[in-house]
Amino acid sequence: MKAWEIRRDATGLRVAIVVSRFNHLITVRLLQGAVSELVARGADADDLHVAWVPGAFEIPQAARQLAQTGRYDAVVTLGVVIRGGTPHFEYVCSAVTDGVREIVRDTNVPVGFGVLTTDDTAQALARAGGEHGNKGAEAALAAIEMVHVVRAAKSEPGS
């Protein structure tokens, strides 16, 4: 058995980060987590380009546009959707998850998914640098790993 090496080095990577303003007190924490993770793993802060969008619903359009430019090794998407007791929650969640999945399928550019979908603000805060870690950092790390997986998969393991 041979396996491709797991790589988590962000040196030289150009990354677009799409972050929604809705629930911005929480999304800014996700952004801090994502940027810290990328820089800690070697990315140059000047190579991290941030696009703010109004809400989670708008994330896929901006992420697709950025992925299609060919200028970025990866895209990281960040948002917070909080259940408000209305069907709107389900629609926004479906739109953002389906939209991001389609970008990956259509462009093959790695997209880290850091969109929280929670019942309440406390759950979101716990996942934005609180007791359950930072989903923004996790999404950034997933994107870094996938850049290397996609590159490495062009050759056999160990080559």
Task: Rule CB under 6 A: choose which of 76, 77, 78, 79 binds ligand INI.
Answer: 79
Residue 148: active-site member: no
Task: Rule CB under 6 A: choose which of 37, 47, 58, 138 binds ligand INI.
Answer: 58
> 107 or 121, CB closer to ligand INI?
121
Instruction: Specify whether the CB–CB gap between 87 and 52 falls below 8 A.
Output: no
Segment near ligand INI (CB under 6 A), from 50-58, 67-75, 121-129, 134-142? 50-58
The CB-nearest residue to ligand INI is: 55
Work out whether 81 is an interface residue with ligand INI (CB under 6 A).
yes
Work out whether 92 is an interface residue with ligand INI (CB under 6 A).
yes
Work out whether 57 is an interface residue with ligand INI (CB under 6 A).
yes
Work out whether 56 is an interface residue with ligand INI (CB under 6 A).
yes
Show the CA angle centred on residue 92, arms to residues 83 and 112, nearest 5°.
100
- Binding residues (CB under 6 A) for ligand INI: these are 20, 22-23, 54-58, 79-82, 84, 88-89, 92
